[in-house]
Amino acid sequence: MSLIKWAGVVGLACGGLLPGAPARAGDLSCKMSFQLSGWSVFYKTASGSGTVRCSNGQSLHVKLRAKGGGLTFGKTRITDGIGKFSGISDVRDVLGHYANAEAHAGVEDKAAEAQVLTKGNVSLALSGKGSGWNLGVAFGAFIIE
C-alpha cells in the first residue's frame, strides 16, 4: 500500500477520535415546552414556566413572563405550549427579552394560537393550545429567565 493511501486510511480511522468543530450560532436546535396564564385590562400580564431542551443534550428550566399594554381585555391560559428557537449556539442564548406585537379577538375553548418573537439574531416561534377570552391589540415583551 502506498504511503499516501496509508496516510488516508489512518486519517479516516483517527478522524472519529478527534473532537468536532464547535457549534456556530444557529447550528443548535432547541425546543421549549411551557404553560402560561394571564389577564389584560389595558395592561397585559402573564406568567408561567417551561423547559428548554437542545439537540446537544443541554436543558434549562425557565420562568416566563409576558407584559405590555394597548387596547386589550381578556383572560387566557396556554397549556401544552411549544417554542422553537433559531439562531442558538448555547442553551443560555434563549434567555432574555423578546419583542412582541399581537392582535386578537374571540372566545377560546381548546383554541390554538401561534406567534413569532425576536431577540437580536434569535427567533422564537410559539404555539399552544389554551382557553379563555380576549379582545384587543397589545405590544410588549415576552421574557425568558
pLDDT in tens, 87-122: 999 999 999 999 876 665 556 555 566 778 889 899
pLDDT score recorded for residue 48: 92
> What is the predicted pLDDT for the residue at 104?
58
Q: In this structure, what C-alpha cell is assigned to residue 8? A: 488516508
Query: Backbone dihedral region of 64: left (phi > 0), alpha (psi from -120 to 50 degrees) or beta?
Result: beta
Q: Does any domain span residue 16?
A: no
Burial class (CB in 10 A: 0-12, 13-18, 19+), 35: middle
C-alpha 109 chain-centroid distance: 24
In a domain, 12, yes or no: no
Residue 80 lies in a domain: yes
| Residue 109 forms part of a structural domain | yes
Mean pLDDT of 122-127: 88
| pLDDT given at position 136 | 61
> Can you give the pTM of this predicted structure?
0.73
Residue 14 pLDDT > 60, yes or no? no
- With a cut of 50, say whether residue 39 has pLDDT above it: yes
Question: Does residue 15 form part of some domain?
Answer: no
| CA 62 – CA 144 distance, rounded (Å) | 6
In a domain, 10, yes or no: no
Residue that wins the pLDDT comparison between 128 and 32: 32
Handedness of CA 35, 94, 53, 116 (dihedral sign): positive
- Is residue 67 over pLDDT 50? yes
Q: Is residue 9 part of a domain?
A: no
Residue 33's pLDDT is what?
96
Percent of the chain with pLDDT over 70: 66
Q: Into how many domains does the chain fold?
A: 1
Listed residue (86, 70, 74, 76) closest to 125, CA to CA: 86
Q: What does the pLDDT read at residue 44? A: 77
User: Cα(143)–Cα(34) distance, rounded to whole angstroms?
Assistant: 13
Residue in the block written with cell 393550545: 129
Tell me whether residue 48 is in a domain: yes
Specify the DSSP element, H or E, that contains 94: none
Write out pLDDT tens, residues 51-61.
999 999 999 99
Tens-place pLDDT, residues 132-142: 766 666 667 88
Give the Cα separation of 32 and 61 in Å (integer): 9
Q: Which domain, by its residues, includes 63?
A: 22-144
Q: What is the mean pLDDT of the chain?
A: 75
